[in-house]
Amino acid sequence: MITTKEQERKALAKIKEIMESLGENSYVGTAFEGCFEIAEENIEYDFADSMQARLKEAREEANRSDETAKTLYNENESLKKQVARLEAQLEREQE
């Protein structure tokens, strides 16, 4: 069954009503934080985004950043050793 944007909006409004009826300290409400905004954007812009997809992308980006940081740390340590060797060589040559 293909739904229209208007049907999607009505369904989202009903879901929001249910969530609001649970109160602001609802466990389910807490789990859905940010999801309604994403659903509205999906409807408006014909997109298919989700909190789970955003979380996955954030984790992947964090992993890439960790790898970059490790690489840069290792390069820095290598350069420190090279500088120390060159300083020692320079000191020997100046004697």
DSSP codes, 1-34: -PPPHHHHHHHHHHHHHHHHHT-TT-HHHHHTTT
- Same structural domain, 67 and 83: yes
* Alpha carbons 37 and 49: distance in angstroms, whole number: 11
Structure tokens at 6: 């208007």
- Same structural domain, 42 and 67: no
Predicted confidence at residue 95, as pLDDT, reads 82
- Same structural domain, 37 and 71: no
Number of domains in the chain: 2
- Domain with 36, as residue range(s), is 1-49
* Alpha carbons 94 and 86: distance in angstroms, whole number: 12
Predicted confidence at residue 56, as pLDDT, reads 97
- Give yes or no for residue 2 having a pLDDT over 90: no
Please compute the mean of the pLDDT values over residues 25-32 and round it to a whole number: 94
- Give yes or no for residue 11 having a pLDDT over 90: yes
Q: What's the Rg (C-alpha) of the chain?
A: 27
